[in-house]
């Protein structure tokens, strides 16, 4: 029975993590985000224009889309992003594979990246894969070590002849 629950959990996690997103019409007041076009010019990321966000007081809860720029149709919503053009303290960066089949989208919040996704094109839809959580889990031990080193730096009192001295004491992980 335990194996059944474990297999069900893994299947559920895969379905939640790797969803295919459906297509739709080009939304009103949305523009192609700067530097988000694919190398072949076929695809791009749509964000709400800054003017529309201000005029309509829609500064929170904005949807971001992956779109076919040639047919002017969305391929679907990019989940877990809330961005409009030139938003303060936030950014959206898109890097495409040379063959325009896949892109990496990084959504930055005020203090660093909030999410990183791989968008894999599949005809007129795409699959969104969240890799941000994996990046955070992988880098957490390294960041912890760096943080410990910064905390171990001690300042010695300043003398008249010299400025402050700083010494780093090495710690084993």
Check if the beta carbon of residue 120 is closer than 8 Å to that of residue 102: yes
H helix or E strand, kind and range, residue 132 = helix 132-151
3-state SS assignment for residue 12: helix
Average pLDDT for residues 97-126, to the nearest whole number? Answer: 89
Query: Tokens in use for 21?
Result: 């997103």
Average pLDDT for residues 89-107, to the nearest whole number? Answer: 93
In which band, very low, low, confident or very high, does the pLDDT at 162 lie, cut at 50, 70 and 90?
A: low
Check if the beta carbon of residue 59 is closer than 8 Å to that of residue 84: yes
Rounded to whole angstroms, what are the CA distances from 126 to 18, 22, 112, 145?
10, 8, 26, 38
In which band, very low, low, confident or very high, does the pLDDT at 9 lie, cut at 50, 70 and 90?
A: very low
Of 31-40, 81-90, 138-147, which has the strongest mean pLDDT? 31-40
Average pLDDT for residues 79-85, to the nearest whole number? Answer: 85
Model pTM greater than 0.75?
A: no
Query: Average pLDDT over the chain, rounded to whole?
Result: 76
How high is the pLDDT of residue 54? 86
Give residues with Cβ within 8 angstroms of 60, minimum separation 6. Answer: 82
Query: Tokens in use for 89?
Result: 């303290």
């Amino acid at each position: 029975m335990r194996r059944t629950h474990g297999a069900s959990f893994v299947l559920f996690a895969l379905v939640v993590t790797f969803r295919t997103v459906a297509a739709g019409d080009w939304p009103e007041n949305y523009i192609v985000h700067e530097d988000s076009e694919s190398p072949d010019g076929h695809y791009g990321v749509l964000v709400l224009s800054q003017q529309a966000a201000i005029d309509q007081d829609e500064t929170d809860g904005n949807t971001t889309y992956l779109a076919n720029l040639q047919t002017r149709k969305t391929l679907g919503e990019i989940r877990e992003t809330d961005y409009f053009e030139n938003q303060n303290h936030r950014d959206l960066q898109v890097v495409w594979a040379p063959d325009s089949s896949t892109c990496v989208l990084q959504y930055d919040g005020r203090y660093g990246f909030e999410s990183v996704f791989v968008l894999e094109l599949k005809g007129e839809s795409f699959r969104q894969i969240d890799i941000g959580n994996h990046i955070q889990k992988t880098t957490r031990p390294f960041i912890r070590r760096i943080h410990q080193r910064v905390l171990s730096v001690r300042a010695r009192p300043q003398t008249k002849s010299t400025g402050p001295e700083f010494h780093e004491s090495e710690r084993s992980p």
